[in-house]
């Protein structure tokens, strides 16, 4: 049962147990609400049999107080077992999703945009939070308590009980069999929401380019259409749900009518007495009220199927696993007949083989789309290869847990990511327990001193969201300072000097030359100025190693490398 609930509702084990407790608490609450009906029934019997004496008055007063106490206790447990437990589980679920995303290969993110993932963690979790605090326990409580009460009614008179409960299976069947339609409507609503969220996010991120190209009005027209689509989809979803819920609720209304008709007929024939007839009318009026809410809850639970499937897609995705201890001997990076393709099926690398030796700078060059960035990502196990083998010091990286493996790497990406914090703390990302002196030393190596001292608070200045207060070159130098601070034995540089001017590029290269002693350095570069100082050049074209060797060797024997050098020399001579 617990495993079924975990799978059906994307719950943790503790959350599934809490859900069962919440359902039982709702059952107890619903039954407690029926206690006053029983007390009223016996009160009417006493009144019809000659009145109520002093002893019976005490009995009814105490009974009424006891009913209130039981209702209060049941409601208190119901609140704690549903609302409070749900909020705890919601936090656990969000953390579980975040932890899973941390372990999933980066290839997964190629088919998911940021708005989609954010909506899963925030929107889907919020939807399920409401479902588990308001809908699921109340629905289960209504069904179980109604079943128990129905069985109890049959012990009094099966004909009256049948008149009261015949509408229940029909009403629930109408709502239940509409699940496919409701799921379809809800899925379309979610898709419209994601499209709108993506559009808004894209608009904010690209506002500068939209303004520069006078494209604001045309873009906003498309955004308006997405807003209209969301509105239309939500209206259609609400109408589709209401159609079945209202129909089911209408069926329930016939229950009171049949109880009255059947009871009247039996009363006329003398087969039941007035108190029993009165009791069935009371129970029927109390029985159908929560069931109307239960039908709405059933529709709401059905509508969460799309949200749950989106979350299960993340939770069920294979994660990268491996040992927690590195066993490498040295830090040579070796690619042996490596092949790789993204989820689209497009082959990116075909039979790639080369060795980046420790103590040397290995440069990856080649035309755009040749696989340079993919090679660097595979070397750090951001993705897992489809065939072949990648080793570090003889250690197969596919058998090492990614976070353990990354302790060997310092990486500088082409697209720098900074946090809305101080320069000091952004550099400290490279080594969380680093002292201020170590951070400052790394900053000076990366030539951050030149711009940091000009800021109002120096290294303690806030740099804005993703470093928006800094220039591209300044942001890149902070990223390089992180690599200096981490001081790992393997360094991956993806166009690390792309945003630097010639002077700063020279300073960074001088600093790198000090850093790379006895380390393995893999550099992705387009500037031949950067490549010329490398110990080895690997030329990638169309997913294969077209040629490799020292820069001097390739200038003499190569084809693509000399061609690239000549083209860049010609472009540097170009002027306006």
Is 440 found in the same domain as 395? yes
Is 392 found in the same domain as 248? no
Least confident of 3-12, 392-401, 440-449, 546-555: 3-12
Over residues 166-190, the mean pLDDT reads 82
Considering the domain boundaries, does residue 349 fall inside one?
yes
The Cα–Cα gap between 118 and 143 comes to 35
Q: Name the domain count of the chain.
A: 2
12-35 pLDDT, tens digit each: 888 888 888 888 888 888 888 878
Torsion of CA 302, 306, 308, 310, to 10 degrees: 180
Considering the domain boundaries, does residue 362 fall inside one?
yes
406-431 pLDDT, tens digit each: 999 988 887 788 888 999 999 999 88
Is 181 found in the same domain as 51? yes
Is 364 found in the same domain as 309? no
111-142 pLDDT, tens digit each: 677 777 877 788 788 888 888 787 788 878 87
User: How many CB atoms are located within 10 Å of the residue 458 CB?
Assistant: 14
Considering the domain boundaries, does residue 395 fall inside one?
yes
DSSP 281-311: HHHHHHHHHHHHHHHHHHHHHHHTHHHHHHH
Q: Who has greater pLDDT, 532 or 574? A: 532
Residue where a domain stops, chosen among 315, 343, 363: 315
Is 88 found in the same domain as 173? yes
The Cα–Cα gap between 263 and 361 comes to 93
Considering the domain boundaries, does residue 61 fall inside one?
yes
Mean pLDDT, the chain, integer: 83
The Cα–Cα gap between 530 and 502 comes to 11
Is 309 found in the same domain as 202? yes
Over residues 335-359, the mean pLDDT reads 85
Considering the domain boundaries, does residue 109 fall inside one?
no
Least confident of 6-10, 125-129, 484-488: 6-10
pLDDT on residue 573 = 57
Is 254 found in the same domain as 338? no
Is 192 found in the same domain as 145? yes
Stated as kind and residue range, the H or E segment containing 274 is helix 274-303
Q: What is the CATH number of the domain that holds 454?
A: 3.40.50.300
Q: Who has greater pLDDT, 113 or 153? A: 153
Provide the sign of the torsion angle of the four alpha carbons 49, 55, 61, 67, taken in this order: negative
87 and 131 Cβ atoms separated by less than 8 Å: no
Q: What percent of the chain has pLDDT over 90?
A: 16
442 token code pair: 């790394």
Considering the domain boundaries, does residue 259 fall inside one?
yes
Classify the phi-psi angles of 359: left when phi > 0, otherwise alpha if psi is within -120 to 50, otherwise beta.
left
Considering the domain boundaries, does residue 322 fall inside one?
no
Q: What is the CATH number of the domain that holds 41?
A: 1.20.1560.10
Q: Which DSSP category does 366 fall into?
A: -
User: How many CB atoms are located within 10 Å of the residue 245 CB?
Assistant: 22
Provide the sign of the torsion angle of the four alpha carbons 259, 262, 265, 271, taken in this order: negative
Residue where a domain stops, chosen among 288, 315, 342: 315
Residue where a domain stops, chosen among 283, 315, 347: 315
Is 339 found in the same domain as 310? no
Question: Which range marks the domain in which residue 166 is found?
Answer: 2-104+117-315
Is 351 found in the same domain as 241? no
Stated as kind and residue range, the H or E segment containing 409 is strand 409-412
153 and 122 Cβ atoms separated by less than 8 Å: no
pLDDT on residue 389 = 94
CA-nearest of 323, 325, 417, 340 to 383 is 340
Considering the domain boundaries, does residue 476 fall inside one?
yes
Is 305 found in the same domain as 215? yes
Is 138 found in the same domain as 279? yes
């Amino acid at each position: 049962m617990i495993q079924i609930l975990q799978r059906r509702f994307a719950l943790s084990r503790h959350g599934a147990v809490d859900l069962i407790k919440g359902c039982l608490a709702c059952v107890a609450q619903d039954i407690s609400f029926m206690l006053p009906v029983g007390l009223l029934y016996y009160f009417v019997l006493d009144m019809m049999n000659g009145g109520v004496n002093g002893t019976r008055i005490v009995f009814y007063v105490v009974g009424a107080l006891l009913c209130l106490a039981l209702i209060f206790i049941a409601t208190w447990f119901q609140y704690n077992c549903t609302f409070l437990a749900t909020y705890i589980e919601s936090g656990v679920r969000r953390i579980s999703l975040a932890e899973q995303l941390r372990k999933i290969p980066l290839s997964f993110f190629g088919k998911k945009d940021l708005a989609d993932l954010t909506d899963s963690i925030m929107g889907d979790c919020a939807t399920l939070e409401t479902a588990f605090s308001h809908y699921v326990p109340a629905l289960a409580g209504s069904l179980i308590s109604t079943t128990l009460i129905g069985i109890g009614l049959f012990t009094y008179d099966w004909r009256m009980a049948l008149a009261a409960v015949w509408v229940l299976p029909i009403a629930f069947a109408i709502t239940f069999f509409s699940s496919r339609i409701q799921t379809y409507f809800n899925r379309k609503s979610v898709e419209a929401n994601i499209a709108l969220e993506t559009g808004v996010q894209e608009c904010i991120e690209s506002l500068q380019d939209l303004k520069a190209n006078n494209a604001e009005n045309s873009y906003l027209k498309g955004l308006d259409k997405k807003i209209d689509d969301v509105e239309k989809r939500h209206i259609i979803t609400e109408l589709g749900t209401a159609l079945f819920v209202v129909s089911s609720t209408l069926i329930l209304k016939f229950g009171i009518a049949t109880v009255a008709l059947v009871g009247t007929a039996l009363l006329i024939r003398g087969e039941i007495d007035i108190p029993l007839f009165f009791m069935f009318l009371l129970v029927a009026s109390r029985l159908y009220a929560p069931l109307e809410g239960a039908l709405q809850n059933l529709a709401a639970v059905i509508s969460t199927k799309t949200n749950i499937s989106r979350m299960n897609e993340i939770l069920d995705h294979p994660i990268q696993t491996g040992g927690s201890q590195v066993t490498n001997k040295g830090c040579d990076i070796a690619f042996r007949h490596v092949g790789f393709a993204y989820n689209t099926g497009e082959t990116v690398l075909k039979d790639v083989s080369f060795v980046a030796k420790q103590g040397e700078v290995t440069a990856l060059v080649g035309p755009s789309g040749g696989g340079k960035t993919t090679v660097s990502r595979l070397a750090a196990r951001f993705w897992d290869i489809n065939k072949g083998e990648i080793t570090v010091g003889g250690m197969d990286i596919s058998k090492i847990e990614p976070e353990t493996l990354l302790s060997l790497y310092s990486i500088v990406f082409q697209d720098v990511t900074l946090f809305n914090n101080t320069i000091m703390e952004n550099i400290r990302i490279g080594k969380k327990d680093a002292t201020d002196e170590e951070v400052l030393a790394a900053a000076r190596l990366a030539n951050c001193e030149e711009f940091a001292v000009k800021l109002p608070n120096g290294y303690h200045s806030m740099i804005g969201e993703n470093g928006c207060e800094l220039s591209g070159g300044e942001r890149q130098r902070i990223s390089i300072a992180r690599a200096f601070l981490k001081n790992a034995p393997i360094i991956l540089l993806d166009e690390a000097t792309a945003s630097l001017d010639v002077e700063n590029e020279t300073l960074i290269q001088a600093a790198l030359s000090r850093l790379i002693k006895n380390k393995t350095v893999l550099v992705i570069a387009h500037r031949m100025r950067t490549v010329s100082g490398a110990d080895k050049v690997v030329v990638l074209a169309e997913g294969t190693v077209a040629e490799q060797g020292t820069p001097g060797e390739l200038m003499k024997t190569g084809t693509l490398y000399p061609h690239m050098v000549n083209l860049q020399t010609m472009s540097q001579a170009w002027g306006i």
